Chains A and B, each alone.
Chain A
Amino acid sequence: MNFEPDKNGYWGEFGGRFVPETLVAPLDELHDAFIASRDDSEFHAELSHLLKQYSGRPTALYFAERLSDELGGARIYLKREDLNHTGSHKINNCLGQILLARRMGKTRIVAETGAGQHGVAAATVCALFGLACVVYMGSEDIRRQELNVFRMELLGAEVRAVDAGSRTLKDAINEALRDWVTNIDNTYYLLGSALGPHPYPLMVRTFQSVIGREARAQILEATGKLPDLLIACVGGGSNAIGLFHPFLDDAKVRMAGVEAGGSGTGLGEHAARFAKGAAVGVLQGTRSYVLQDDDGNIAATHSVSAGLDYASVGPEHAHLRDTGRVEYGSVTDLEALDAFRLLSRTEGIIPALESSHAIAFAVKAAAEMTPDQTVVVNVSGRGDKDVDAVRRILAGGSE
């Protein structure tokens, strides 16, 4: 099976570049800079140095013995992306893209953020390189993630609230695109997930694949064989594609992407783009599965986790789903909250609510497997940012 996009950025029928004409030349420029960086050993050396010395890679692959025992099935290994500097996998992509931005001579960075993890990572690399940074964030997400807003401001970024639409990630991306198209001369758009117009999905995957490359070597070292199952949560899908991609050719390795099942199955109650009634559409520069109404307007979504609360999904995931290489499922808000507490209690690791979706799926999957089988779950981020929201929910209020 071929897992590379064609020259126009298509995986099968998914991907491409659906943008206003003004953005075509900047995307071409970005594409050229990205391709040049791929063959540049100096670029790789600098990126490797930063990943190691600044972010603390490689992140651990940790055998979660108590969790595995409690579930009584497969042995569960956790890829600890939460141990990265800034507390999530988002820094991997930000370090790669900030080096590109610098090579392109850009002096101002714009980014979108949902949960705030990408915004914090973007603000961090801008501080590191002394670049101006503007982060767009939906006002609903700002309410949910106050601490991350303050964190970004501490790092010197300007956080701009977006009041349009559902006031979440999708609306923040619209606003970041509007800013970029207005300020293309000096501005670099640091997109945080494996979505958007070509070359973003390919580029983000490239910078996140360090997760899977490390995990592959680590699990071989730990167990002497490849894992039976990989599990990762999928909002846009960057941590998932980062883990999955280096294993795609290993036909015996099963993979599961976990979407946000939210609070119900009705349109607007979840962010499960691949659920029953899934439809293909075009949103924010790419063709993929899109939650939408009968008139083609983008549907509101819901998830307890801001980082999974998005109406579309990265195009490569759409392709992996349709070809059957990766299976996709969803877990509800309540299941994710249970998993959040379960991992905290059994392993002393508080996962992000996004990652809690992957844990919740692992709880179900591992129980049906045997102790000679192994599962790798990506803990894409740490849950400190969610502690306050979870406390409010557990106290009986609505989040």
Chain B
Amino acid sequence: MTDRITENLKAGRGFIPFVTACDPDDEISLEILDLLAGRGANVIELGVPFSDPMADGVVIQRSSQRALENGVNLTRVLSLAKRFRASKDVPVVLFSYLNPLLRFGIEKLCESAKDCGIDGLLVVDAVDNEARDLREKLAEHDVSLISLVAPTTTDERLERICREAEGFIYAVSRAGVTGAAGSVSREAADLVARVRKFTTLPVAVGFGVSRREHVENIWEFADAAVVGSAIVAEIEASVGTRNAAARVKSLLDQLLPLQKAAHTHKVEGSRL
């Protein structure tokens, strides 16, 4: 399997932004994705809105709700991804809960995903056998299933998860839901060290990454930082003003060192 995701994260100091798709609307969302690509995103996580996001904190819950109120569904998310990937080669990972995917149809999703430039899928509430079934189906269509690991994950599970993993490993920085935190927990570094015993895949750290010092800190021990709620909060603050992209840009200026913007990626044959 080609692994554009792995390739794009190998160099380290990676940046993986998360946004809820089509929030606040499709056009501005596309503008934000373009901006994220321009600011050196190595992979973009595109959130599929769901009515009951049990692993998310309030910021992403509200963005999900906004998108749902605007009628966003998986079809529209895929179409946004396709439009974005028509001009940009940054790998896109769909970030979703299982039920919207089941309702859409896993087979149908597999067929659409590659066509829309989706490289991977991260399904928050699919673990073990449920993840394994999904991975087998996705593999036939050359789409990776990204695995999450948490500070509570035992070494025995880590070994199994890492053995089956593709793309990169998403390490949850702390037990909890998504959302801002004061600092990157000590647990995160310990977890990444444990993960490294079992895989050479890149490791990204997410949950609560909202400041430059968090990103710098994570780059010391992991390959990439995932930033979600901090970006989504800027989008929320812009509701009604249409200046979401400007707000996200100014957040990224604070969050990322300048050289990150100049860091471009060349991955062969990837643009749609």
Contact = CB atoms under 8 A, between A and B. Distances in A.
A283 B99 contact: yes
Given A18-B130, A296-B101, A181 B55 contact: yes
B157 A182 contact: no
Nearest to A280: B102
B74 A174 contact: no
Contact of A296 (B100, B128, B150): B100
A270 to B, nearest CB: 18
Interface in B72-107: 73-74, 97-104
Interface string A160-190: 0000110000110010011001111100000
Contacts, number: 116
Interface string A256-292: 0000000000000000000000010111110000101
A19 B152 contact: no
Contact of B50 (A16, A20, A184, A297): A297
Contacts of A22: 55, 150-153, 172, 175-176
Range for the number of chain B residues in contact with chain A: 35 or more
B103 A174 contact: no
B152 A25 contact: yes
A16 to B, nearest CB: 7
A77 B257 CA distance: 74
B201 interface: no
A20 B148 contact: yes
Contacts of A21: 127, 147-150, 152-153, 172
B125 A282 contact: yes
A271 to B, nearest CB: 15
Top 7 nearest A-B pairs (CB, nearest first) are A296-B103, A296-B100, A297-B51, A22-B150, A295-B73, A182-B176, A25-B152
Interface of B: 50-55, 57, 61, 68, 73-74, 97-104, 124-130, 147-154, 157, 172, 175-177
21 contacts: A16-B130, A19-B127, A20-B127, A22-B152, A22-B176, A24-B152, A25-B150, A25-B152, A25-B157, A174-B54, A177-B54, A178-B54, A182-B175, A184-B152, A281-B99, A282-B99, A284-B52, A290-B99, A295-B74, A297-B51, A297-B52
